[in-house]
Amino acid sequence: MTKKVTTSTLLKMKQDKQKITALTAYDASFAKLFDEQGVDVMLIGDSLGMVLQGCEDTLSVSIDDIAYHTKSVRRGTERAFVIADMPFMTFATPEQTYQNAAQLMAAGASMVKVEGGDWLVETIKGLNLRGVPVCGHLGLTPQSVHVFGGFKVQGRDDLQAEKLFEQAQALAQAGIQMLVLECVPSSLAEKISKAINIPVIGIGAGPHTDGQILVMHDMFGVSANYMPKFSKNYLDITGDMRTAVKMYIEEVRSGTFPSAEHSFN
């Protein structure tokens, strides 16, 4: 029987300095492919608004959209840890969050992910008390794209970097069990990864986090909109999807991905 990846597995991987591999997934077929190749974590991301629905951002994705795709991914998964995104404005209040998180857990998620800083502290504590593990998300949080004025690297100046560092600590103290850092300088991501005792997964955050995640469409070079600087087209290199996933896993674990060209200073 295949041993399932759990929060304890992921924590031990951080402690043992073994890199965690993660990809977004949205259906049973790709979930099965990723699972069989050994991907540790699959995220049903609200990125589906852009890569599946063709929208310019993630803001129109609903809780029902995420629940539907979570059910599909769960059916294709035996080993990997499954995380579901909480879409835009589905966690504005604690009570609303509890109801929507319950829907995603019932659909097959083992953890929910929320975007935002210390304003989420009480909500995170409440989710934990109700048996719901939480993944945080800091840096470029796509649901705040209009506040940021576009998809821009976060934490480049000292004041912003210090604020992100403090928010990561606040979220960890509140009880998140994983943190995603998106589009932040490598040095800041390394500092945060060393400072908190939970796994930190990077996307455009350099090679020094505890693991990496990519949007599957970017990794296969089939995104409808654009190819981010921090991504790499593994399908173009290998010509085969399974081999592409295997190569991604090997490069993350060896530390060769992301390289300097996929990172921000």
Contact 204, 263 (CB under 8 A): yes
SS3 at position 265: coil
- 65-to-19, 70, 116, 131, 195 alpha-carbon distances in Å: 30, 9, 21, 23, 35
Q: In this structure, what token pair is assigned to residue 32?
A: 């099965």
Residues 6+ apart with CB under 8 A from 251: 257
Quote the crossing angle between the two packed helices 28-37 and 63-75, to the nearest 10°: 50
User: Beta partners for 113?
Assistant: 85, 135
65 is in an annotated binding site: no
CATH fold label, 7-262:
TIM Barrel (3.20.20)
Task: Name the amino acid, one letter, at 246.
Answer: K
**pTM score > 0.85 for this model?**
yes
Q: What's the confidence (pLDDT) of residue 142?
A: 60
pLDDT of residue 37: 98
DSSP state of 124: H
Which residues, other chains included, contact 8 with Cβ-Cβ below 8 Å and sequence gap of 6+?
Answer: none
User: Distance between CA 125 and CA 140 in Å, rounded?
Assistant: 23
Q: What is the pLDDT of residue 260?
A: 85
Give 50's pLDDT tier (boundaries 50, 70, 90).
Answer: confident
Q: What share of the chain is helix, strand, coil (3-state, %, to 5)?
A: 45, 15, 40
Q: Nearest 10 degrees: CA dihedral of 165, 168, 172, 176?
A: -170
Which is catalytic among the residues 56, 122, 166, 182?
182
> Is 46 annotated as contributing to ligand binding?
yes
Higher pLDDT, 142 or 97: 97
pLDDT band at 112 (very low <50, low <70, confident <90, very high): very high
Region 221-243 average pLDDT: 87
pLDDT digit string (tens) for 134-182? 999 999 866 655 454 455 677 788 999 999 999 999 999 999 999 999 9
Per-residue pLDDT tens for 25-46? Answer: 999 999 999 999 999 999 999 9
**How crowded is residue 146: how many other Cβ atoms within 10 Å of its Cβ?**
9
Do the Cβ atoms of 213 and 139 come closer than 8 Å?
no
Does the annotation place 125 within a ligand binding site? no
Q: For position 146, what pLDDT does the model report? A: 46
Mean of pLDDT over the chain: 92
Which band of pLDDT confidence, cut at 50, 70 and 90, is reported for residue 231? confident
Judged against a pLDDT cut of 70, whether residue 205 lies above it is answered with yes
- The question of whether 182 is a catalytic residue gets the answer yes
> Residue range 68-86: average pLDDT?
98
**What value does the mean pLDDT take over residues 230-243?**
94
Whole-angstrom CA distances from 156 to 147, 165, 225, 231 are: 17, 12, 25, 20
> Among 245, 113, 264, which Cα is nearest to 186's?
264
The answer on whether 115 is annotated among ligand-binding residues is yes
Is 85 part of any known ligand binding site?
yes
